[in-house]
Amino acid sequence: MGLWLEIVIAAGLAILAWAILLEGDRITQMSQPAMTLIEAFKCAPNRAELLDHLSNRFTDLKTTDISTLGVRTVFLSRWPSDNATLCLTPAGKYLDISLNDHSDVASLYVLKKDAQTLCAIEDVIETTKLPVWQSNAEGTIIMSNAAFRALDTKISTDLHAAVLAEPQHTTRMCVIGTDNKQRWYDVELSKLQDRTIFYAIDVTQVVKAEQAQRNFVQTLTKTFATLSTGLAIFDRNRQLVLFNPSLVDLTKLPAEFLSTRPNLLSVFDRLRDKHIMPEPKNYATWREELGHLVVAAAEGTYTEVWNLPSGETFRISGRPHPDGALAFLFEDITAEVSKTRKYRSELDFHHALLDQIDTAVAVFAVSGQLCMTNDAHDRLWGEFDQTLLSTQTIMDASRLWQKQAKPNRFWGELRDFVHQLEERSTWTGFIQMADGTEIDCQVIPLPDHHTAVTFQKAHRNATSKVQASNLMTV
């Protein structure tokens, strides 16, 4: 009794048969070809491992209790286009196993070709850096590649168990290795009849980067929450991804609306509806201008002041951010504008007041810049070009004055005093015009190191004129 392997090639037909005799779990007899097969399987010479290898081809063996067989039983191969049969015949304490494999020459050629293809595929899977493994219907791992076997044993065991517990198509799993460090994997699975193949990608660094990004955003959010400036950041798709409480306070846009991640056009449409931006004369034109606004903000050149019907004034600035994002800053400059307007109003008032007096007045900053002159000054000395007033200095003014007056050390002392920071007090002098007219001068220190100089025609007797002339003329 036994299983014998014979190879017969005739008329293009190959008949494969081999024989093994089992006594209990031990192989007692086998032919030389069968021995070669055992060596090819690389399995121990016992029934359990032999049947385990045969069950890959004859899968019904997996669900059959061999110890209960009483008669000859035939198992069919479950491989595609495979007509082989496996016969198990019990005889007392012995078990006779016989295999009949009928293949023509063409089938053998295709089989060898497929074997080569399979080897190439196995090489790819074995050498890939991604952990890949396969389990049977019971969840037992039946195959794995080198990357999976190289994993920490605890990680590979826990990873497989976690995936079986949540058999989704793609799952992100966190496992802890023997070093007590967390590892994150994205696991994808593919079901093939009674088997499942798993592919894992180590995304630990990605998860850490995402966590660092979330922490950074939270830090920025906490920082932005204390700003009085409203902030709105839109991503590259022009959807709102970040805003602070000041934006809600300034624009009166509901936080619920902003939390829905509206796009940029929707936000500005809502601002228009709530009269938080100037009402456009033509809505279609405004939409076109809004497109130009986005382009300008992306280039970092957008700044605009909105004078609202409520009397408030907002300054809106657009700034480019990394990865194509845009940030808009909303500043309430109502107080600043009001203060500036009040300052300008007071300045205009004082200027108008000075224009009503007969004394010529010129005011200089400590830098020497000419700040203002009144009408009396322009009538006495000639009018400065008002468009260039901000560029006129004490040097320019003194040249104008000296051309129309006789030489006098007063001009040099005045130039020095304008730039002087310490020991400043009011002082006087007088000059003579080219036509002999005498002018009384008074130099007055003003707040913020400004200096005012006044010119007024002198009224004195002849003796006083001669004495004064002797004192001041050089």
Q: Look at residue 474 and tell me whether its pLDDT is greater than 70.
A: no
CATH code for position 38:
3.30.450
Nearest partner of 456 among 376, 387, 390, judged by Cα = 376
How would residue 472 be classed by pLDDT, with cut points 50, 70 and 90?
Answer: very low
- 154 located within any domain: yes
- 224 located within any domain: no
- Mean pLDDT over 59-77 rounds to 83
Using one digit for the tens of pLDDT, what is the confidence trace for 173-186? 899 988 999 999 99
Question: Do 102 and 133 lie in a common domain?
Answer: no
Question: Do 249 and 145 lie in a common domain?
Answer: no
CB atoms within 10 A of CB 155: 22
What is the structure's pLDDT at 227? 82
How would residue 318 be classed by pLDDT, with cut points 50, 70 and 90?
Answer: confident
Question: Do 363 and 321 lie in a common domain?
Answer: no
334 to each of 6, 218, 249, 310, 341, how far by Cα in Å?
A: 102, 31, 15, 11, 10
- 18 located within any domain: yes
How would residue 8 be classed by pLDDT, with cut points 50, 70 and 90?
Answer: very low
- Mean pLDDT over 405-422 rounds to 91
Give the three-state DSSP class for 96.
Answer: strand
- 113 located within any domain: no
Question: Do 71 and 148 lie in a common domain?
Answer: no
The string over 260-287, giving b where at least 16 C-beta atoms fall within 10 Å of a residue's C-beta and e elsewhere, is eebebeebbbbbbeeebbeeeeeeeebe
Alpha-carbon span 317 to 233, nearest angstrom: 12
- 338 located within any domain: no
Q: What share of the chain is helix, strand, coil (3-state, %, to 5)?
A: 40, 30, 25
CATH code for position 393:
3.30.450.20
What is the structure's pLDDT at 16? 52
Of 202, 218, 250, the domain-final residue: 202
What is the structure's pLDDT at 9? 30
Torsion sign over Cα 143, 149, 153, 155: negative
Q: Which domain holds residue 28?
A: 6-108
How would residue 453 be classed by pLDDT, with cut points 50, 70 and 90?
Answer: very high
Give the three-state DSSP class for 195.
Answer: strand
pTM: 0.45
Amino acid (1-letter code) at residue 213? Q
Question: Do 193 and 279 lie in a common domain?
Answer: no
Using one digit for the tens of pLDDT, what is the confidence trace for 184-195? 999 998 888 778
Question: Do 88 and 138 lie in a common domain?
Answer: no
How would residue 470 be classed by pLDDT, with cut points 50, 70 and 90?
Answer: very low
Question: Do 458 and 367 lie in a common domain?
Answer: yes
- Mean pLDDT over 341-355 rounds to 79
Domains in the chain, number = 4
Question: Do 175 and 80 lie in a common domain?
Answer: no
Question: Do 371 and 307 lie in a common domain?
Answer: no
Using one digit for the tens of pLDDT, what is the confidence trace for 216-273? 877 777 777 778 888 888 888 889 988 888 888 888 899 899 989 998 888 888 888 8
Question: Do 365 and 466 lie in a common domain?
Answer: yes
- 207 located within any domain: no
Of 73, 108, 143, the domain-final residue: 108
Q: Look at residue 42 and tell me whether its pLDDT is greater than 70.
A: yes
Question: Do 191 and 100 lie in a common domain?
Answer: no
Q: Look at residue 11 and tell me whether its pLDDT is greater than 60.
A: no
CB atoms within 10 A of CB 10: 7
- 149 located within any domain: yes
Of 58, 79, 108, the domain-final residue: 108
Q: Look at residue 321 and tell me whether its pLDDT is greater than 90.
A: no
208: left (phi over 0), alpha (psi -120 to 50) or beta: alpha
Alpha-carbon span 230 to 314, nearest angstrom: 10
Question: Do 289 and 363 lie in a common domain?
Answer: no
What is the structure's pLDDT at 105? 66
How would residue 469 be classed by pLDDT, with cut points 50, 70 and 90?
Answer: very low
* Beta-bridge mates of residue 99: 18, 86
Q: How many residues does the chain have?
A: 474
Alpha-carbon span 90 to 83, nearest angstrom: 23
Nearest partner of 62 among 78, 83, 84, judged by Cα = 78
Alpha-carbon span 452 to 432, nearest angstrom: 20
Residue with tokens 């070669």: 36
- 156 located within any domain: yes
